[in-house]
Structure 1
């Protein structure tokens, strides 16, 4: 029993010593091996620079020392941070340029910038942080230069896009404006150019269709095509030009048609209708010299025709000795043209003949007025003027108007009658006091006889207690008056009665 127990104890002691030996080896590894690995490598897993060989003495044992001093380690950390800062800027620029699709407009320069960055990576991995920073800085500056170039590239792309729109080349325009929007997403110019490029093919098709219709003479249909094109792209210069040009062609066509209508009416002597047509043409094309001149000429022609007509009317009235109508006709002609010589002379002559006609007519129609000496003298003067005119007409024309001849003959008879007294008997009652104006007071009588020149007279009878009597009478001029009774018969009050 005791022997078995001793054997088991020996077996257990052997395992304990084995475990203890392993633990001792692990402790030695932690103390001596791990610090050396920490000194040789750091994150990221970049191997440290090889340390200078450590000088050892065969005779003396010295404790192990670090490969790099704390100051040098701090410098390396600073250099690493500087390289990382430059790298951060570089990566930010790279990201911005990638969003701008830099490979489409600066592939070579961009690749060169990335090559510098890759060199920096190599330096960084080998722990050469200063060289890495320089390489990263070279790349960063190259990328910065590309960013500075963006406005220029943007403007070039806009120019290329506009040129493609004018070409027209919709595919090129779409590419240029799309890339321009990558450079500046907020650019209204780029957005508008891209929108125009999207409709370019349709716009060009509409313009081409309109031009065919225009050549075929269907201007209205062509106008619809051009206006649709302009509505799709209001900035399309050729569409706008075609809209304006075709509209002018429509205006010119309408204008020409209306002017032709006016001239046709003019040839048919429909002057009023022709003027109306020319005025419509002037409304179609305001300020047209041709339409304005046509209106003026037509009105002048119409005026001349009206003047000729009035001249014929005036001459006809003169021949008929209707001087009042002749004067009116000449006045109408002068209203159209105040410098018409024939109208000026004709009106003057007709006016004088009208005055003479009226003076002769008033004496012939009212011969009793000739009993007044002044009127009689005036009538004789008018009669003399008429006879002088008659002689002139006979000398110039060999004839005298019938109306003037009759007037002069009648006037001659009237003037002659005025020189022949007419016997008139007045009858009264020996009680009435009679007075005859233009003759004198005759007093009371039963009957008396007077020799009176033709004319108008007034007889007045008065008698106390009776109402006065007044009688007007005409002597001569074909009036049959041999006697006139004048007495006061109407008693109005008793006088001196007992």
Structure 2
């Protein structure tokens, strides 16, 4: 390249040399004039090419100066072409010194364009990398590439366009190599930023975020990272609160604080892990408390409370084997307690001579365990006593029916069975006394007078037929009797009367209503 300002090209004047006839004689006058005109025309065309076409083919160099073309060289080239066309030797047509030809200038212009094209790509890439902060993260490769570019500039100024192109190309390749490392550098910087956020290093995270924003300004991840960076102080404070609460043994507060941290930054892995850890600890503590409460309640026979506690533990840690095993133990303990309670209640019923209740209690135990010994033996003891108890209770209630010899006999047999038992309890003793009094009452005859009209046929039911009578005294056991009177042509009569001691036991029976 040159620092000279562009000078306008000027044509060198020339005069065509006189042409000689190949035959040695002068040509005809008309032919000689035609040759001269043709030569002049060609010369004018070449001069026009030099003045108007050639300057357009030469481009401006990067320093802002146009290449200077030696006017005498252009004129000489034009003169040589014109002289050759006119048949005049070149030396005769050249009036200026030696200079570059248009072909050489065109070659130089092409080389300059090659250098400029590479330089343009180099400048564009260098500008992009500079905007991305390559001067900070791209050393020493970035400075080496700029040094190559400077060497190319030096060669360009010396019009060594081939050397300039080579230097520019090497600088471009160095910057391209640097550009190719951008994805890896961006990912590494992103990882460092995430690590700083996760570790709670606010200043380091801010520094790396600024660097990432400069290196990859269009990275879509910057939006979320900026939000996370803004939330980082709140996350750090919440995690510290969670740690303090855990140290104080307040796991519920620790979990709440960790949940606040994850709410501020849902993508914070350390906060999420801390929340999971504290939640697991809280759940385990609640699980242990529930199991302990369940076993305590079971030991105190509070089986419903124990079941509630064990089922709560099962909900806290689904699939844990301990609650299921505890529920099996609880069922066994509940069954055992139920059987023991039935045994105690049955024994108490026996002692209190509540024999029907004892039978019912022992039968309940047998429905739980058909082979339980105390229940089997209890039923064997209590069932006969319950039946005897029922029969003894009926004797006083059926006192008036004891006039029936069969019923009286059954009552006497029941009394004999009761008196045969050893060690009778108060209830049995009372029942025996009541039965004896009832039977004694039923076996004491009472004089009873029956009167009639001597025409009515009388039958004393369950005793005997008396026939007709006017008056008759019978010895009857206390009770309720029924006498039936019949007379031909008269309606039958039925008289029910009660025979009791210490009363007037007189009854009249007669058929008085004719039919």
Q: Residue 358 of structure 1 aligns with which residue?
A: 390
- The reply to whether residue 485 of structure 1 matches residue 485 of structure 2 is no
Alpha-carbon contact 2:442-2:477 (below 8 Å) kept: yes
Higher mean alpha-carbon deviation, 217-226 vs 141-150, is at 217-226
Relative to structure 1, the CA distance from residue 435 to residue 225 in structure 2 (aligned partners, 3 Å threshold; closer, same or farther) is: closer
Q: Deviations over 1:115-147 (max 9, x none)?
A: 333333344444444444343333333333333
Relative to structure 1, the CA distance from residue 472 to residue 203 in structure 2 (aligned partners, 3 Å threshold; closer, same or farther) is: same
2:470 and 2:231 map into 1 onto residues whose CA distance is 129
- The reply to whether residue 158 of structure 1 matches residue 190 of structure 2 is yes
- The reply to whether residue 135 of structure 1 matches residue 167 of structure 2 is yes
The 5 A counterparts of 1:208-287 are 208=240, 210-212=242-244, 214-217=246-249, 226-246=258-278, 282=313
Q: Residue 22 of structure 2 aligns with which residue?
A: none
- The reply to whether residue 87 of structure 1 matches residue 119 of structure 2 is yes
Relative to structure 1, the CA distance from residue 145 to residue 365 in structure 2 (aligned partners, 3 Å threshold; closer, same or farther) is: same
Q: Residue 217 of structure 2 aligns with which residue?
A: 185
Which of the pair has the greater relative contact order for Cα pairs under 8 Å at 6+ separation?
2
Secondary structure of residue in 2 paired with 1:118: helix
2:317 and 2:329 map into 1 onto residues whose CA distance is 18
The two structures have a TM-score, normalised by structure 1, of 0.67
2:390 and 2:206 map into 1 onto residues whose CA distance is 98
Q: Residue 176 of structure 2 aligns with which residue?
A: 144
- Pick one of 28, 43, 46 that aligns with 2:60: 43
Relative to structure 1, the CA distance from residue 487 to residue 286 in structure 2 (aligned partners, 3 Å threshold; closer, same or farther) is: farther
2:263 and 2:358 map into 1 onto residues whose CA distance is 68
- The reply to whether residue 430 of structure 1 matches residue 430 of structure 2 is no
- Pick one of 461, 465, 474 that aligns with 2:485: 461
Alpha-carbon contact 1:122-1:132 (below 8 Å) kept: yes
Relative to structure 1, the CA distance from residue 282 to residue 221 in structure 2 (aligned partners, 3 Å threshold; closer, same or farther) is: closer
Alignment RMSD, CA only?
5.2
Relative to structure 1, the CA distance from residue 59 to residue 420 in structure 2 (aligned partners, 3 Å threshold; closer, same or farther) is: closer
Alpha-carbon contact 2:307-2:330 (below 8 Å) kept: no
The two structures have a TM-score, normalised by structure 2, of 0.66
Relative to structure 1, the CA distance from residue 46 to residue 339 in structure 2 (aligned partners, 3 Å threshold; closer, same or farther) is: farther
1:483 and 1:466 map into 2 onto residues whose CA distance is 23
Q: Deviations over 1:86-131 (max 9, x none)?
A: 3333333223222222222222222233333333334444444444
Alpha-carbon contact 2:366-2:372 (below 8 Å) kept: yes
Q: Deviations over 1:4-32 (max 9, x none)?
A: xxxxxxxxxxxxxxxxxxxxxxxxx9554
Deviation, 1:354, is 1.3
Deviation, 1:428, is 1.4
Secondary structure of residue in 2 paired with 1:107: coil
Higher mean alpha-carbon deviation, 101-110 vs 80-89, is at 80-89
Relative to structure 1, the CA distance from residue 339 to residue 479 in structure 2 (aligned partners, 3 Å threshold; closer, same or farther) is: farther
2:472 and 2:208 map into 1 onto residues whose CA distance is 137
Alpha-carbon contact 1:424-1:452 (below 8 Å) kept: yes
Q: Residue 116 of structure 1 aligns with which residue?
A: 148
1:420 and 1:234 map into 2 onto residues whose CA distance is 103
Alpha-carbon contact 2:287-2:317 (below 8 Å) kept: no
Alpha-carbon contact 1:48-1:127 (below 8 Å) kept: no
Secondary structure of residue in 2 paired with 1:459: strand
Deviation, 1:353, is 0.8
